Structure 1
């Protein structure tokens, strides 16, 4: 295995780095912070639109969708540079990285230009309506239903943990359209504007950020949605979900690897036991990066390996959590100081990495849940990697 990049890839990296150096908003310009993952301040809308226009928002896309037809390896380098610098290319990450990407993969031409392009240009924001009170990682158990009524669907049900829904303009919503079909077969996907009558959004706080309300409960009561808002074929929503979560997990493993790297870099071992912890974490991080490099090489050859994403998702999220737990233990009582800044961060990054070791550790549990829990990922690995029976 050769863990270096070709000249064209490094040229691509240098061009992107030069773009960042020349165009990043100043700290003063970026003083207004987003209030949720679907709220984009005016300055950040301008920043995202500039990236779109210059082909740097999602470089793997064609130019009309904010890219420059970059190779898989070049796309990785793009994400690596953003992660290394702790820069957000969008403050609506699920809108750009999951919802717009899903529309470009499964939507009609009209949906791509009416919904995906405005999301990519930060003209509107989007949230993902998947989880329900009784269907978290097990999407197939969802009960929000959509019944056909002429040229509309009528939607009734509830979603929860819908990040940024109260600030979003549209929800990519997974609904049950055939209650008699097997669980995985009767699901469809609808684009539901949040100002549609019958849609109620209720934001709530998390215990790690009581003042930061990003999560939402979303209720649908006789919500009428035009049939033209159906994404992909009727009752084929599982394919869209697999694509959506694939986009999410591809991004998440790199994010978790970088988060783990930052935790290891900030770790200050003092005792022999702490030095042993540190050495183990360094080896775990190296193993994660090597496995990720192998998966990246397969993707560059055009090989699809969905189970590998589950492996990386588990190792990345749990490795990051383990690193933060060890660092918190090593910090002792000082680790409980929520006002302490544990690491420098760019003014254009999210703030969740700088509020003390305990806050960083508490937030790490989200990484083992979002995009499919570790338990669900282990089930996928058991069946599709190890070939074990379901029971």
Structure 2
């Protein structure tokens, strides 16, 4: 067992550290993240362009698209250094991590130049139109339709929970193009500019903060989308969707590890019950890192295992949720009023510099839903790892 990186990976890390020392703006670590994931502050756009131009935005991408063709281990140490400095990877994460990545995988050269490169540079922002009111976690149950009419698709339907849509320039939208086909086979993916007639975006508040507008309802009423905006072959959207959600799969667990480290640093247990809970969470954090490191090593050797990623996603998201819940309980009633009262007003032993525990607990539910709910992850684990029959 090798518990260290090879010299080439450490040199890659050292090169990135030198780049950060030379170029990192002061705002990168201290700048407050906007409530909308479709909104990139001007300083962050400038920083994203610098990362893009030097190949440090998404190192695994090809040169010319914000990367340098880095391998999985190099991508891992890149994330590790960003986390060590508390730097946001991106202010439009679905844009660079999912939508631009999908364009690079499934798009034509014209589509890559038209949308992927500008999204990665920060010139455009993008949102992901998957969930619908009657098909939240079941993409195959979507009802938004796109009917071919000459050189356009006419789109009608609704999406919901579309993060950042009201600030986004384009939407990667999954639509039904063949209602007669089996539900997994009649789906297509369209890039829909948000300024087209018939696109209506309605942001709505979350329970965490009524002033934090990120979620959206998006309505399509006779929207005429050029057929050239089709991403991948018609009726092959299921393949595009699986690719979209899988682009950052191998390293998704690292974001949960960083959040868990932050929660544990701010949570100071008092008494045997809290200390026992803290110890369990610390063990969860260590298990997540060890299992994740093993998965990264397998991926580097070409042994990609999607089911193993479900274990990491389930472990990481639920450990963060448990840590938030235990810290909230330790903070006591003073942590519950929201949004004006935070943990610093509580008489309990909670770090005064930490954000409100109530908000952190409520936000933890997003991790157990986005990217495949915990229930879906358990089903994948049951069927593909444990070999249990389909229920």
TM > 0.5 fold call = yes
Deviation at 1:182, TM superposition (A): 1.0
Deviations 1:108-163 (A, max 9, x none): 11111110000000011000000000111111100001111111111000000000
Q: In structure 1, what is the Cα distance between the partners aligned to 2:329 and 2:372?
A: 28
Aligned position for 1:382? 382
Q: Deviations over 1:52-72 (max 9, x none)?
A: 001100111121111111111
Q: How many residues align?
A: 383
Higher relative CO (Cα under 8 Å, sequence separation at least 6) belongs to 1
- Aligned equivalents of 1:199, 1:116: Cα separation in 2: 21
Offset of 1:251 from its aligned partner? 4.5
> What secondary structure sits across from 1:209 in the alignment?
coil
Corresponding residue number in structure 2 for 1:361: 361
Question: Is this contact kept in 1: 2:331–2:343, CA < 8 A?
Answer: no
Matches within 5 A, 1:237-248: 237-248=237-248
Give yes or no for the alignment of 1:131 onto 2:134: no
Structure 2 counterparts to residues 134-173 of structure 1, below 5 A: 134-173=134-173
- Contact kept in structure 2, 1:65 and 1:117, CA below 8 Å: yes
Distance 1:245 1:28 in 2: 27
Separation in structure 2 between the aligned mates of residue 234 and residue 51 of structure 1, nearest angstrom: 34
Shift of 1:89: 3.0
Bigger drift between 247-256 and 44-53 goes to: 247-256
CA distance in 2, matches of 1:312, 1:333: 32
Q: Distance in 2 between matches of 1:259 and 1:189?
A: 32
Q: Following TM superposition, by how much is the alpha carbon of 1:252 offset from its aligned partner in structure 2, in angstroms? A: 3.3
* Distance change in 2, residues 1:93/1:298 (3 Å): same
1:137-195 Cα shifts (integer Å, max 9, x gaps): 11110000111111111100000000000000000000011111111111110000000
Query: Is the CA contact (8 Å cut-off) linking 2:268 and 2:351 kept in structure 1?
Result: no
Q: Is this contact kept in 1: 2:143–2:175, CA < 8 A?
A: yes
Offset at 1:334? 4.1
- Per the alignment, residue 339 of structure 1 pairs with 342
2-side partners of 1:311 and 1:291: how far apart?
Answer: 9
In the other structure, the counterpart of 1:268 is 268
Which whole-Å deviations, capped at 9, do the CAs of 1:22-76 have from their partners, x for residues lacking one? 2222249976753410111111111000000011001111211111111110001
Equivalent residue number for residue 347 of structure 2: none
The alpha-carbon distance between structure 1 residues 343 and 230, as it changes in their structure 2 partners (threshold 3 A), is farther
- 2:29–2:85 Cα contact (<8 Å) kept: no
Structure 2 equivalent of residue 213 of structure 1: 213
Q: What CA distance in whole angstroms lies between the structure 2 residues aligned with 1:30 and 1:219?
A: 36
Change in Cα spacing, 1:313 to 1:344, as seen in structure 2 (3 Å) is farther
Contact 1:144–1:155, Cα closer than 8 Å, also in 2: yes
Aligned to 1:310: 310
1:249: how far off?
A: 3.9
Q: Is residue 93 from structure 1 mapped to residue 93 from structure 2 by the alignment? A: yes
TM-score, normalising length: structure 1: 0.94
Note if contact 1:29-1:43 (Cα within 8 Å) is conserved in structure 2: no
Q: Taking structure 1 as reference, are residues 343 and 307 closer, same or farther at Cα in structure 2, changes over 3 Å only?
A: farther
Aligned-pair CA distance for 1:308: 1.2
Q: Look up the match of 1:348.
A: none
Distance in 2, Cα, partners of 1:2 & 1:298: 13
Assess, with a 3 A threshold, how the Cα gap between structure 1 residues 28 and 384 changes in structure 2: closer, same or farther: closer
Aligned CA distance change for structure 1 residues 272 and 340 (closer, same or farther; 3 Å): closer
Aligned equivalent of 1:351: none
